[in-house]
Amino acid sequence: MGRDDHNSSSNNKNSLPQTPKFLKMSPGKAKEEFSREFQEIINKDVDHEVLSKKNKNKK
């Protein structure tokens, strides 16, 4: 019925053409970036809790 029997390999098979090359990163670097961002969030939460406790003690 259809004529879609084209089996040649694509040039973009192993790449993400919608992502510019300068924005691509290795999985290891992505893990580092995520862990840094999570650590920043955790630190902000801890700082907020410490400030809340200090304010409660002042009252």
The pLDDT of residue 13: 62
pLDDT score recorded for residue 52 = 80
Name the H helices within 1-59: 27-58
CA distance 14 to 4: 21
Amino acid, res. 20: P
Would you state the pLDDT for residue 8? 63
| pLDDT, tens digit, 9 for 90 and up, residues 1-40 | 556 666 666 665 666 567 788 888 898 999 999 999 999 9
Question: Which amino acid is located at 8 in the chain?
Answer: S
Determine if the pTM surpasses 0.85: no
Mean pLDDT of 47-54: 78
Q: What is the pLDDT of residue 11?
A: 61
Residue 21 corresponds to which amino acid? K
CA count, 13 A, side-chain hemisphere, 42: 6
Which token pair is 19?
């992502």
CB 24 within 8 A of CB 16: yes
